[in-house]
Amino acid sequence: MSNISRHTVRRYLVETASSEPTYLRAREIASDLDGSPKAVAQYLSQLQDELTIVSLEQWGRSKSTTWRLEVNGS
């Protein structure tokens, strides 16, 4: 069952981020959260401009989009 919320994805990103860049894909996050990759991908796109604690940017596209995640510098 894929009952994942935007808040859950946001919390996951904040908890996963570190000072070194981390590269993620929606399917990896969905697997960790037991959700749908399609839903996670939608939330990632929405959260990209909203997050202030962490930096999330679309990094590369091949078969699927890779996202670059790291804690914002102070």
4-53 pLDDT tens trace: 899 999 999 999 998 899 999 999 999 999 999 999 999 999 999 898 88
pLDDT > 80? residue 61: no
27 lies in some domain: yes
pTM: 0.86
Q: Are 24 and 69 in contact (CB under 8 A)?
A: yes
Domain of 52?
6-71
1 lies in some domain: no
Report how many domains make up the chain. Answer: 1
How is the chain split among helix, strand and coil, in percent rounded to 5? 40, 25, 35
19 lies in some domain: yes
At residue 1, the pLDDT reads 41
- Domain CATH for 47: 1.10.10
